[in-house]
């Protein structure tokens, strides 16, 4: 431990780092532009300056995390990133929820950091240096058991930050409480630094030791996907809903990375590179559309003063541009062509299809199950965003605030459309992007694999020769546009004059917002379908004037958060229980405290003979 | 030979303190113990011929023999509390325990430390014993002033250890320790005075309301 502080800062500028730097800067730029308008009028000038300083420091710390070449500096930047984001979460200090959210975040992230530190120290024991190259070289000599331990520690450590199930509980608290441009950074970029950590430390430095590593990550990933999206469906706070979708999308990203780890171990080189590139592709896609969605949610929040979806409605008429940007994000996250989310989810599915054909027996079934669950996730995500968009923007305003909402300011619109533009770019330009990402993954796996090439041309991704699996997004876009055009023409030609009615009014003469479809109602089928997992309970309360006439009717429904109920609550109860037990030795008597010292000394004198 | 006399003096005075029932005898015994400590240090200084030890001995004389006991006695007079010490363990049992602790430190010195020089061994055992008994007084006596005296006794024991094991610490360390002791006695004295005015007693066992 002597040379601990004798380390100079050196940077590691390989393609992987460049990729993450690009992602961070892309989202930060949009977020920074957006924040100008967003913070205006919300906070005093001093508070805004403080916010910008934190914002800048936060970005710098993230850049350090993905570029440094030394495990110790990495840890320092990692910790700086966590602390700065904590201060950004509690930025809105007047809100008590922010403080408790901040505490949950702080505790969870430090549990994660503790595991990372432990794994680094184990690796340091073998390498004697914190330099990445030295650690990588030394990792060859680590015994299998220790290697497994390091892997588990790294997975828990980075998994906490990434928000994999069941370590995700801080996400739905912390992300919504931060100011929206920060939420977009945290959800879009910060949790991705954990993915960087997993790729850098597990795949690049530690090296894949056993097949079960990849399988474990796949299992966790697919569970995260499902749990994230199911909870998102149940959530009626717009930003919390988005936060749960981050859990889901981290799952999808990890599906790519986990599959890559399996392929590396099975020596399927082409597939390994493919899977990793797909993971990275979804990573940057998620950064873009999740950043965009959080920015839009922020505009809605600023206009209405609440995040509760049941209070929105009809915002498309008041804030048409925000609605359009949100629609782009919603389509992208629901994997609708020709936007970017479609490309990466489609590719992830292809990885599992091709993978299922390339691996043997048991794994075949496992891959098939992963693929089907991923498809289920995609469907649920789409329905979730039908809810999010429909309830928020369509129909009539449900509250006075929603009625008085005004369109977001210029800088906010620039921020949103900047990212909306990129959802299109990363969709249509898929072939080019993928070519670059393949290079990045090849550089990561260079030690493991011989160099390979994908057959790519400018419009089509041909992911495996001979199997004729290819994707051309511009073609799809063209076909979609043509279908749309034909349909519109047909409607115009054959229906003639357009008649206007109120939507779904069933002949009723006057509809009020109370007749509207609510988010709770929309998600009810899912609440029933996933009842075994969500354990919903409901309470109805009727006040009757007579048997036939109900005066008031109250309906309440909640879902049980089983992770909190069955994992975190017992742990907390145990901790507090043991603390209460230990507190018995703290009666406050000075004599007793001195007596402890006295007894200890005497015991030591008596026992020293033994040692 | 006279060093053994001084050492026994220190030990006997410590026993006196263990069985003392009232505050003034406790403090007078402490004064006498410090006097023996002073004499012991002077005798060491004469045999060892180290000039700095004379200064340290002088400090003991001024602080521990004259100033601190006088100060403590004045506090007792001023706060006018019941002079009884208040026992958690009666004097007879205390003396018995003190003897056991002496035997324990003797065992520790000869079995574990393996000191060869008899004189050094004896004074180390004694020093350990005095430290333990200082702690003992702090634990088993109720009045706040006995905690101060217990602390001073412990300090005497530690000083004895330092002086026998390595002929005293560097002068500057010794000097600052004495200054610390003196100041802590003043501060603790003030505290005792304040506690008395606030609670009308100085029984430490009644001060057990935990804050926070």
Residues of chain B contacting A594 with CB distance shorter than 8 Å = 135, 138-139, 147
Rounded distance between C-alpha atoms, residue A241 and residue A19, angstroms: 28
Confidence label for A212 from pLDDT (cuts 50, 70 and 90): very high
* pLDDT band for position A8 (cuts 50, 70, 90): low
Residues in Cβ contact with A88 at an 8 Å cutoff, skipping those fewer than 6 apart: A51, A54, A55, A58, A178, A179, A182, A186
Q: pLDDT at position A2, please?
A: 42
Question: Which among A280, A282, A277, A316 has a CA at the least distance from the CA of A299?
Answer: A316
Question: So what's the pLDDT on residue A387?
Answer: 92
Chain B partners within 8 Å of A588 (Cβ): 207-210
Interchain CB distance below 8 Å, A594 and B147: yes
Q: Looking at the complex, report in whole angstroms how far the Cα of residue A606 sits from the nearest Cα belonging to chain B.
A: 8
Which of A588, A601, A608 is the closest to B112 by Cβ?
A608
A interface with B, Cβ–Cβ below 8 Å: 586-591, 594-595, 597-598, 601-602, 605-606, 608-609
What is the domain range of residue B178? 2-206
State the pLDDT at residue A96: 81
pLDDT at A604 (0 to 100): 87
- Determine, yes or no, domain membership for B80: yes
Quick check: B135 and A587 CB within 8 A? no
pLDDT in tens, A506-528: 666 677 777 778 888 888 888 88
Selected residue with higher pLDDT from A263 and A514: A263
Query: What is the mean pLDDT of the segment spanning A194-218?
Result: 91
Q: Is B139 on the interface with A (CB under 8 A)?
A: yes
Write out chain A residues lying below 8 Å of B136, CB-based.
598
Alpha-helical runs (H) found in chain B? 2-19, 23-48, 51-59, 68-79, 91-107, 118-140, 144-166, 171-199
pLDDT of residue A464: 62
Which of A156-170, A212-226, A239-253, A595-609 is predicted with the least confidence, judged by mean pLDDT? A595-609
CA B50 to chain A, closest CA, distance in angstroms equals: 32
Of A90-94, A271-275, A425-429, give the lowest mean pLDDT range. Answer: A90-94
Strand, helix or coil for residue A252: helix
Mean pLDDT throughout B39-57? Answer: 85
Q: How far is A592 from chain B (nearest CA, A)?
A: 7
* pLDDT tops 90 at residue A189: yes
Interchain pair A606, B111: CB under 8 A? no
| pLDDT range class, residue A499, cuts 50, 70, 90 | low
B138 touches chain A (CB under 8 A): yes
Return the minimum-mean-pLDDT range out of A43-52, A252-261, A315-324, A495-504.
Answer: A495-504
User: Residue B147 and residue A590: Cβ atoms within 8 Å?
Assistant: yes
- Mean pLDDT of the region B136-145: 88
Share of chain A above pLDDT 90, in %: 44
pLDDT band per the 50, 70, 90 thresholds, residue A454: low
User: Which positions in chain A touch B138 (Cβ < 8 Å)?
Assistant: 591, 594, 598
Most confident of the following: A220-224, A472-476, A556-560, B2-6: A220-224
The whole-number average pLDDT for the span A425-434 is: 86
Query: Please, which residues have CB within 8 angstroms of residue A251's CB and are 6 or more apart in sequence?
Result: A164, A165, A220, A221, A222, A223, A224, A225, A226, A228, A377
- Across the interface, whether the CB atoms of B135 and A589 are under 8 A apart is answered no
From chain A, pick out residues whose CB is under 8 angstroms from the CB of B108: 605, 608
pLDDT of residue B167: 73
Contacts of A14 (CB under 8 A, 6+ apart): A443
* Inter-chain CB pairs, A–B, below 8 Å: 47
Residue of chain B nearest A589, judged by CA positions: B208
> Is residue B12 over pLDDT 60?
yes
Confidence of residue A106 (pLDDT cuts 50, 70, 90): very high
How buried is residue A506: exposed, middle or buried, by Cβ count under 10 Å (0-12/13-18/19+)? exposed
Position A453 confidence tier, pLDDT thresholds 50, 70, 90: low
Q: Does B178 touch chain A (CB under 8 A)?
A: no
Q: At a CB cut-off of 8 Å and minimum separation 6, what does A32 contact?
A: A55, A181, A415
Q: Does the structure show a pLDDT above 60 at A466?
A: no
Distance (Å) from the alpha carbon of A281 to chain B's nearest alpha carbon: 52
Of A563, A518, A529, A525, give the one whose Cα is nearest residue A228: A563
Residue of B nearest to A610 (CA): B112
> Tens of pLDDT along A409-429?
899 999 999 999 999 999 888
d(CA A33, nearest CA chain B) in Å: 46
The pLDDT confidence band at residue A451, using thresholds 50, 70 and 90, is very low
Residue A280 has pLDDT above 60, yes or no: yes
Q: Summarize the confidence of residues A68-94 as an average pLDDT.
A: 90
With 0-12 / 13-18 / 19 or more C-beta atoms within 10 angstroms meaning exposed / middle / buried, residue A488 is exposed
- Whether chain A has a CB inside 8 Å of the CB on B137: the answer is no
B-chain residue closest to A588, CA distance: B208
Indicate whether B11 belongs to any domain.
yes
- Distance from the Cα of A17 to chain B's closest Cα (Å) equals 48
Q: Kindly identify which residue of chain A lies nearest to residue B211, measuring between CA atoms.
A: A588
Residues of A in contact with B192 (CB under 8 A): none
Q: Name the residue facing A591 among B88, B108, B132 (closest C-beta).
A: B88
Q: For an interface test with B, give the residue of A584, A586, A589, A591 to mutate (most B CBs within 10 A).
A: A591
What whole-number distance in Å separates Cα of residue A260 and Cα of residue A283?
A: 14
Contact B204 A591 (CB under 8 A): yes
> How large is the average pLDDT for residues B123-130?
91
Average pLDDT over residues A241-268: 93
- Smallest CA–CA distance from A597 into chain B, residue: B135
* Cα dist from A117 to A7, A195, A271, A582, whole Å: 17, 17, 32, 28
Q: Least CA distance to B110: which residue of chain A?
A: A609
Say what the pLDDT of residue B180 is.
87
Closest by CA to A85, choosing from A174, A195, A194, A212, is A174
- CA nearest to A88, candidates A106, A72, A70: A106
Give the pLDDT confidence score for residue A246 in this predicted structure. Answer: 94
Chain A contact probe: residue of B148, B208, B209 with most A CBs at under 10 A: B208
Inform me whether the pLDDT recorded for B102 exceeds 50.
yes
**How sure is the predictor about A194, in pLDDT bands with cuts at 50, 70 and 90?**
very high
Sheet containing strand A461-464, edge to edge, reads A455-456, A461-464, A469-471
CB contact under 8 A, B104 and A606: yes
Position A355 pLDDT exceeds 70: yes
B211 falls within a domain? no
Cβ-Cβ contacts under 8 Å, A586 against chain B: 210
Q: Judge whether A248 and A231 are in contact, CB under 8 Å.
A: no
User: Measured between CB atoms, which of A587, A588, A597 is closest to B135?
Assistant: A597
Are the CB atoms for A108 and A120 separated by under 8 Å? no
Contact A598 B135 (CB under 8 A): yes
**Contacting residues of B for A585, CB less than 8 Å apart:** none
Residue B35, pLDDT > 70, answer yes
**Residue B181 maps to a domain:** yes
The total domain count for chain B is 1
H or E, element range at A455: strand A455-456
CA distance A604 to chain B (A): 10
Q: Could you tell me which residues come within 8 angstroms of residue A528 by beta carbon, excluding any fewer than 6 positions away?
A: A536
Mean pLDDT along residues A226-249: 92
Tell which B residues from 35 to 94 touch A, by Cβ distance under 8 Å.
88
Q: Name which of A591, A602, A609 is nearest B112 (Cβ-Cβ).
A: A609
**Which of the four pLDDT bands, split at 50, 70 and 90, describes residue A202?**
very high
Q: Which residue has the higher pLDDT, A251 or A400?
A: A251
Contact B9, B65 (CB under 8 A): no
* Tokens found for residue B113: 């430390």
* Weakest-pLDDT range from A329-333, A347-351, A514-518, B155-159: A514-518
B102 shares contact with chain A (CB less than 8 Å): no
| Residue from A490, A488, A491 nearest A480 by CA | A488
Give me the percent of chain A exceeding a pLDDT of 70. Answer: 92
> pLDDT tens digits, residue range A152-185?
999 999 999 999 988 988 998 888 888 899 999 9
Task: Write b or e for each residue in A268-293: b if 16 or more Cβ atoms lie within 10 A of its Cβ, otherwise e.
Answer: bbbbbbbbbbbbbbbbbbbbbbbbbb
Q: Which two tokens stand for residue A435?
A: 């070519």
More confident position, B211 or A241: A241
């Amino acid at each position: 431990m002597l040379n601990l502080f004798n380390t100079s800062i050196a940077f590691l500028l390989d393609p992987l780092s460049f990729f993450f730097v690009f992602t961070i800067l892309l989202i930060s730029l949009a977020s920074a532009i957006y924040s100008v308008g967003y913070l205006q009028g919300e906070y005093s000038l001093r508070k805004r300056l403080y916010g910008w300083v934190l914002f800048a420091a936060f970005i710098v710390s993230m850049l350090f995390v993905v570029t440094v070449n030394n495990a110790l500096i990495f840890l320092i930047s990692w910790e700086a990133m966590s602390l700065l984001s904590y201060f950004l979460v509690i930025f809105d200090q007047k809100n008590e929820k922010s403080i408790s959210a901040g505490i949950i975040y702080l505790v969870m992230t430090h549990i994660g950091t503790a595991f990372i530190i432990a794994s680094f120290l184990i690796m340091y024991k073998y390498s004697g240096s914190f330099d990445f190259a030295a650690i990588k070289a030394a990792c060859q000599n680590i015994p299998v058991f220790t290697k497994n331990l390091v892997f588990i520690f790294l997975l828990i450590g980075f998994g906490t930050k990434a928000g994999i199930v069941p370590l995700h509980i801080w996400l739905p608290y912390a992300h919504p409480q931060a100011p929206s441009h920060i939420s977009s950074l945290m959800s879009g970029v910060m949790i991705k630094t954990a993915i960087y950590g997993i790729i850098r430390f597990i795949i690049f430095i530690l090296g894949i030791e056993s097949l079960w590593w990849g399988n474990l990550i796949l299992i966790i990933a697919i569970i995260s996907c499902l749990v994230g999206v199911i909870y998102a469906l149940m959530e009626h706070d717009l930003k919390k809903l988005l936060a749960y979708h981050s859990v889901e999308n981290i799952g999808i990203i990890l599906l790519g990375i986990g599959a890559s780890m399996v392929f590396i171990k099975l020596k399927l080189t082409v597939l390994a590179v493919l899977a990793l590139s797909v993971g990275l592709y979804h990573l940057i896609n998620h950064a873009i559309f999740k950043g965009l969605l959080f920015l839009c949610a922020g505009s809605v929040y600023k206009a209405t003063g609440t995040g509760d979806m049941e209070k929105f409605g009809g915002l498309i008429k008041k804030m048409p541009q925000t609605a359009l940007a949100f629609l782009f994000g919603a389509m992208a996250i629901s994997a609708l062509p020709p936007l970017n989310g479609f490309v990466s989810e489609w590719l992830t599915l292809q990885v599992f299809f091709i993978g299922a054909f390339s691996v043997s027996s048991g794994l075949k079934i496992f891959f098939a199950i992963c693929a089907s669950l991923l498809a289920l996730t995609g469907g649920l995500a789409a329905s979730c965003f039908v809810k999010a968009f429909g309830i928020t923007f369509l129909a009539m305003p449900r509250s006075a605030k929603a009625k008085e909402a005004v369109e977001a300011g210029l800088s906010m619109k620039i921020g949103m459309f900047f990212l909306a533009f990129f959802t299109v770019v990363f969709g249509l330009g898929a072939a080019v992007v993928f070519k670059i990402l393949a290079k990045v993954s090849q550089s990561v796996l260079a030690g493991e694999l011989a160099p390979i090439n994908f057959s790519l041309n400018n419009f089509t991704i041909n992911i495996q020769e001979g199997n004729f699996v290819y994707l051309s997004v511009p073609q799809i876009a063209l076909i979609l546009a043509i279908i749309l055009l034909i349909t519109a023409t047909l409607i115009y030609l054959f229906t003639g004059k357009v008649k206007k009615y109120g939507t779904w009014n069933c002949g009723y003469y006057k509809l009020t917002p109370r007749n509207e479809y609510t988010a709770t109602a929309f998600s009810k089928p899912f609440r029933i379908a996933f009842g075994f997992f969500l354990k919903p309970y409901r309470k109805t309360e009727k006040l009757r004037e007579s048997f036939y006439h109900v005066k008031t009717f109250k309906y309440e429904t909640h879902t049980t958060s089983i992770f909190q109920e069955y994992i975190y609550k017992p742990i907390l109860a145990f901790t507090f229980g043991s603390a209460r037990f230990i507190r018995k030795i703290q009666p406050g008597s000075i004599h007793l405290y001195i007596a402890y010292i006295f007894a200890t000394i005497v015991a030591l004198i008596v026992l020293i003979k033994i040692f | 030979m006279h060093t053994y006399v001084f050492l026994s003096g220190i030990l006997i005075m410590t026993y006196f303190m263990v069985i003392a029932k009232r505050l003034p005898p406790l403090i007078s015994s402490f004064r006498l113990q410090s006097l023996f400590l002073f004499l012991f240090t002077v005798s060491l200084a004469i045999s060892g011929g180290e000039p700095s030890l004379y200064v340290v001995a002088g400090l003991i004389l001024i602080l521990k023999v004259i100033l601190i006991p006088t100060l403590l006695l004045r506090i007792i007079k001023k706060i006018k509390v019941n002079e009884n010490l208040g026992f958690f363990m009666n004097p007879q049992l205390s003396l018995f325990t003190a003897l056991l602790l002496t035997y324990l430190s003797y065992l520790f010195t000869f079995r574990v430390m393996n000191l060869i020089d008899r004189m050094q061994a004896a004074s180390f055992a004694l020093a350990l014993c005095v430290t333990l008994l200082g702690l003992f007084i702090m634990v088993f006596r109720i009045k706040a002033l006995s905690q101060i005296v217990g602390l001073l006794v412990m300090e005497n024991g530690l000083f004895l250890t330092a002086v026998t094991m390595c002929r005293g610490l560097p002068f500057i360390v010794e000097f600052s320790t004495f200054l610390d002791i003196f100041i802590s006695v003043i501060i603790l004295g003030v505290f005792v005075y304040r506690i008395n005015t606030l609670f009308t007693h100085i029984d430490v066992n009644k001060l057990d309301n935990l804050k926070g």
